[in-house]
Amino acid sequence: MKTLATAYAAQQARNQQLLKRLETALATHADAAAAKPKNWGYLGDLTATTGRLIEALSSLDALTAEERAKHRV
């Protein structure tokens, strides 16, 4: 029988795996952007990702008051 604690631990482990993949993806994306320095699309990708990361931090109540005000979340 699955308990809240085991379900939480499994989801926490999944989030850690996703964060590791994000680190790799960011490095790969940076290399691609460096190879095409005139392509502004990479900045757009990164800006969208930043917004999603801010939303994720907000959902965990992990933003400072200053950050909440700045990002209006």
Domains held by the chain: number: 1
- Averaged pLDDT for residues 45-68: 94
Neighbours of 50 (CB within 10 A): 11
- Interval 8-53: pLDDT, tens: 999 999 999 999 999 999 999 999 999 999 999 999 999 999 999 9
Amino acid at 50: T
Domain that includes residue 55, residue range? 4-71
pLDDT at 1: 83
- Report the distance separating Cα 73 and Cα 70, nearest Å: 8
- Averaged pLDDT for residues 60-66: 93
Say whether pLDDT at 73 is over 80: no
pLDDT at 46: 97
